Structure 1
C-alpha cells in the first residue's frame, strides 16, 4: 500500500519540486534560529560577555572546518573510485546524498530544539548548541547544495532547480511572521511549543520527501547495478586492461584547488557576502529599535521584519529569470552596484527620513540575501570547471562546497563580533551591560540635528558596512573569469565526459 502511494506521488510530483521542497524544512528552522538565538542567550538566559565571545570563537573554528571535513568524508569515495575499477555513476551519487539527507535532516530539527530549553549553564549550552546545530546543518546544506551540481549540468536545469528552492524557501520564511505572535522574553512557554511544532513538521518533511526521492532514483540505479554485475562476471579470469590509479589525497586536492584562480577570487568575494548577510541578520532588530521604533508601531516593525525574510526568496525568482537572459555573473555584478548606489544615496539623505530608512533597511537585506541565493549556481559552475580542468572521474560537488565554506564561513562569526565591537567603540552602547560606556570613540550628534549619538552611530553602521562590502566585492568579482564563452566551453566538456551518467531531471 505504502509503495503504491509513493508511486502515485512520483507520477504527479516532479524531481525539481521534490528537491526544492527540502529547502522548506531547513528554512522554517534556520530563519527562526538566526533571528532569536542571540537574543535568547543574551536576554533570556543572561549569558556573560566572556562566555559569548568564547562560544563564538570556538564556533568560528568548528563552523569553518566541519564543511571541508564532511565534504571530504562524503566525496572521497568518488575521488578514489578509479582505484577499484568501478566508476560511480551520477544516480548512485544522488542516492548517497539522499540517504545522508534522510538521516541528518531529522537530527537537525532535534538539535534546533536544544536552544529553547535551559538545560545547562548559559555559556556551556551556547557552545554545545551552536556546534551541534551547525554540524547537522552543514551535513544537510552540503548534500542539498551538492545535489544542484549532481542533478544537472546545464544552466537552464540548474536555474529550474534553484527556482523551486526559492519558492519553498519563501514559504519557509513565513515562520518568521508566525514567530512574532509567540515570542515573549518574559514567558517562553508559547515560543517553545511553537519551535516544537516547527521541528516536528521538519522531521516529517525530511523523512517523506527524501524517501520519495530515494525510491525514484533507486529505480534508475538498479538497472545500472545489474549491468555492472553482468560485466563483472564476464571479466572473471581476465587481467585488467588498465593499471589502477592511486586515490586522490587531501593534500593533492588542496594543491589543485590552490591553482584554481576563479575559486580563489570567488571565495574572496563570498567571504564578504557571508559577513554582510549575517551582519544584517544579527543587527536588523537593533536597527529597527534605535532608528525606527519612535516613528513606527511594533506591528509595522514585525511586518517589515517578516517581509525582509520572505521577499529575498520571491525576488530571487525574478533574479533567476535575469540569470537565464544575461548570465549569473552579470546579475551578481548589477546587485553589487545596486547595493553601493542605494547605500550612498541613503548616506546623503541622512538619518531623519523615516520612510527612506524603512525602504533601505528592508531593501538592503533583500538584495544582499538575493545575491546569496544565486551563489550556489556559481559554485556549481566551479564544480564543473574543477571536474574538467583536473579530469576527474566524478565531480566532487560536496567537497568543493565544503572548501568554499571553509574560507567563507568565518564571516558568519565575524559579523556579530565585529558588529558589537563597532557599536560599543563608536557609540558606547554595550548590548551585554545595557549601560553606555562613558569614554567612547563615538562622534557627537550633528549640531542642531537632535539625533542621539546611539542613533547616529547605528545609522553610520547601517550605511558604511554595505558601502565597504560592495566596493571590495566589485574589485574581487572583476577578476572572476568563469562566465561567457569560457563557461559554455566548460559545460560542453563536462556534458561530453559524463553523457551516459547524468540524470535528466525533467524525465525522472
Structure 2
C-alpha cells in the first residue's frame, strides 16, 4: 500500500512539483510582509532609532547574502574542464534540490521567531530580520535558479512559472486567514496560526524537494547517458569553453560589461521598492483613506484579494507572454500603472469606489510584474552563458547578483515611506506614550485628519507615477527580446547538446 501511494506521488509532473515549492514560500512570506512592521511598531513598541538601525543593517545583509550564497553555490561552474571537473546539468539540479530540502525547514523556524517577544525589541528586530532573510535567500535562490536549469526554451520556462503562480495564489490564502487571527492586543491566536503555517511549510519543503529529486534523477539518467555517448564522439575544443577558471573579480568585470543586465537591475530596483512599499503601507492606506467609508469585511476582502489576485492574474499574463514575449507584457504593465495612477490623481481621494479599485489594482499589477521578471533573469542567464562562454550556466549566481542591486529597494520602502508620510503630514508612527496621546488628539481633530488623509492619498498616487516613469525609461534600453533573444537561446541550446567543433564520422 505504501509503495502504491509513493508511486502515485512520483507520478506528479516535474512542473507541478517545482511550482508547489512556491506554495511553501508564499504562505509564510506574505504574512511576514504584512505584519512584521506593525508587530514591532505597535506591539513590541520599538523605538525609531532601533528601527532605523535594524533596517540599515538588514539593508547590508539583505544585499550581500544573495551574491554570497550564489557564489558559494555556483563558483565551481565557472571553471573550465582543464581547471576542474566538468559538472553535468543533472547534478546541478540535484544540488539545488538538496539545498531546498536542507534550508526550507530552517526558513520556517526563522519565521516563528518574529511573533514571540524574546529579547529587547531593537535586538530581536535585527536578529529576526537577518535570520529570516538568510534562510529565505538560500531557499529562494535555489528555487529561482532551478527555473533556468530545468528548461531553456521560453515555452517550458513559462509552464514552470505558470505553476509557480498557481501555487503562490493558493499560498496567498494565508493572508485571508491571518486577518481573522490578527489582534495586536492579544497575539496568542495569531501565534498558533503561525505555528501551523510553519509546520505545513517545513513538511512541504522536505516532501516536495525529495519527490522532485527522485523524479528528476529518473528522467535525467537516460539523457545523461546519451550526453556521455555524444561526448565520446566529440573531437576538439568547444567554442564556448573557457581556457581558465574565473575569479570573483573577473566575474564582476564581465557582469559590469553586460549592458542588458545593468539596465534590467536598474528597472528592477524600482520594482522591488514599489512592491514592498505597497505591502508595508497597505494597512495604513486602508486605515486613513477608507476605514470610515467601508465596512471591516470590505477591508478584509481588499487585503486578501490584493495578495491572491496578482498570482491568478499572472496566469493570464503568462499566456500573453507566450504570444507577445515577456518584454512587451512588462512594458504594457508599466504603461497601465502610469495610466491608473494618473486617473486616480485627477479623480481625487473622494471617489471611494475608484479608490478601492486603485488600492487593490496597484498592488495586483505591481506584484504581477514582479512574478514575470524571473523569466527575464533566466534569459539573462542564457545571454551570460553565451557572451562569456561558460561551461555551465551560473544561474544561482546571476540571480544573486540581481538581488545584490535590487534588494535594497526592500529596505528603502519602509524607510522612505515613513519619512515621506512624516514630511507630508507631520504624522510620526513612532510617537507614543504621552507624546503619542498628544499626536492622536491632534490627528483626531478635523483639520489634522484631513491633512493626514490628503498626505496618504498623495503618497499612494505619486509613488507609482514616479516608479512607472523611471521604469519605462530604463526598460526602453533593454534589448534582450525578439530576434536577439531567439538567437541567444539557439546558441545556448546548441552549446549544451554538443560542445565540440567536430564530430567523428560514424
TM-score strictly above 0.5: yes
Aligned equivalents of 2:454, 2:137: Cα separation in 1:
38
Q: Which residue of 1 aligns with 2:476?
A: 478
Matched, 1:386 2:388: no
Per-residue Cα deviation, 1:45-74 (whole angstroms, up to 9, x for no partner): 111111100000000000000000000000
Matched, 1:49 2:48: yes
Q: Which residue of 1 aligns with 2:257?
A: 259
Aligned equivalents of 2:69, 2:81: Cα separation in 1:
21
Q: Which residue of 1 aligns with 2:502?
A: none
Q: Which residue of 2 aligns with 1:217?
A: 216
Cα–Cα, structure 1 residues 150 and 228, in superposed 2: closer, same or farther, change >3 Å? Answer: closer
Cα–Cα, structure 1 residues 186 and 495, in superposed 2: closer, same or farther, change >3 Å? Answer: same
The DSSP-based 3-state class of the residue aligned with 2:62 is helix
| Matched-pair contact (CA < 8 Å) for 2:242–2:391 | no
| Matched-pair contact (CA < 8 Å) for 1:182–1:194 | yes
TM-score between both structures, scaled by the size of structure 1: 0.91
Cα–Cα, structure 1 residues 450 and 199, in superposed 2: closer, same or farther, change >3 Å? Answer: closer
Q: Which residue of 2 aligns with 1:100?
A: 99
Q: Which residue of 2 aligns with 1:196?
A: 195
Per-residue Cα deviation, 1:284-331 (whole angstroms, up to 9, x for no partner): 000000000010011110110000000000000010011111110000
Aligned equivalents of 2:79, 2:498: Cα separation in 1:
20
Q: Which residue of 2 aligns with 1:505?
A: none
Aligned equivalents of 1:409, 1:250: Cα separation in 2:
20
Larger displacement relative to structure 2 (136-145 or 428-437): 428-437
Cα–Cα, structure 1 residues 496 and 231, in superposed 2: closer, same or farther, change >3 Å? Answer: closer
Deviation at residue 79 of structure 1 after TM alignment: 1.4
Q: Which residue of 1 aligns with 2:274?
A: 276
Structure 2: gaps of 5 or more residues:
440-444, 500-506
Deviation at residue 83 of structure 1 after TM alignment: 3.8
Deviation at residue 115 of structure 1 after TM alignment: 0.6
Deviation at residue 100 of structure 1 after TM alignment: 0.2
Deviation at residue 476 of structure 1 after TM alignment: 0.2
| Matched-pair contact (CA < 8 Å) for 1:312–1:369 | yes
Aligned equivalents of 1:495, 1:3: Cα separation in 2:
37
Q: Which residue of 1 aligns with 2:120?
A: 121
The DSSP-based 3-state class of the residue aligned with 1:120 is coil
The DSSP-based 3-state class of the residue aligned with 1:431 is coil
Deviation at residue 216 of structure 1 after TM alignment: 1.5
Q: Which residue of 1 aligns with 2:406?
A: 408
| Matched-pair contact (CA < 8 Å) for 2:58–2:126 | yes
| Matched-pair contact (CA < 8 Å) for 1:304–1:362 | yes
Of the three residues 302, 318, 321, the one matched with 2:319 is: 321
* CA RMSD in angstroms, aligned pairs only: 2.5
Q: Which residue of 1 aligns with 2:38?
A: 39
Aligned equivalents of 2:90, 2:287: Cα separation in 1:
50
Per-residue Cα deviation, 1:226-260 (whole angstroms, up to 9, x for no partner): 8999999x9xxxxx999994321100000000000
Q: Which residue of 2 aligns with 1:181?
A: 180
The DSSP-based 3-state class of the residue aligned with 1:86 is coil
1:30-429 aligned at under 5 Å gives the runs: 30-80=29-79, 82-84=81-83, 86-220=85-219, 245-429=243-427
| Matched-pair contact (CA < 8 Å) for 1:68–1:405 | yes
Cα–Cα, structure 1 residues 450 and 354, in superposed 2: closer, same or farther, change >3 Å? Answer: farther
Cα–Cα, structure 1 residues 383 and 186, in superposed 2: closer, same or farther, change >3 Å? Answer: same
Aligned equivalents of 1:83, 1:171: Cα separation in 2:
47
Per-residue Cα deviation, 1:129-188 (whole angstroms, up to 9, x for no partner): 000000000011100000000011111111000000000000000000000111111111
Aligned equivalents of 1:180, 1:4: Cα separation in 2:
40
Deviation at residue 424 of structure 1 after TM alignment: 0.6
The DSSP-based 3-state class of the residue aligned with 1:351 is coil
Aligned equivalents of 1:268, 1:288: Cα separation in 2:
30
The DSSP-based 3-state class of the residue aligned with 1:452 is helix
Aligned equivalents of 1:227, 1:369: Cα separation in 2:
41
Q: Which residue of 2 aligns with 1:10?
A: 10
Deviation at residue 219 of structure 1 after TM alignment: 2.7
Q: Which residue of 1 aligns with 2:23?
A: 24
Structure 1: gaps of 5 or more residues:
235-239, 440-444, 502-508
| Matched-pair contact (CA < 8 Å) for 2:306–2:361 | yes
| Matched-pair contact (CA < 8 Å) for 1:21–1:165 | yes
Deviation at residue 8 of structure 1 after TM alignment: 2.9
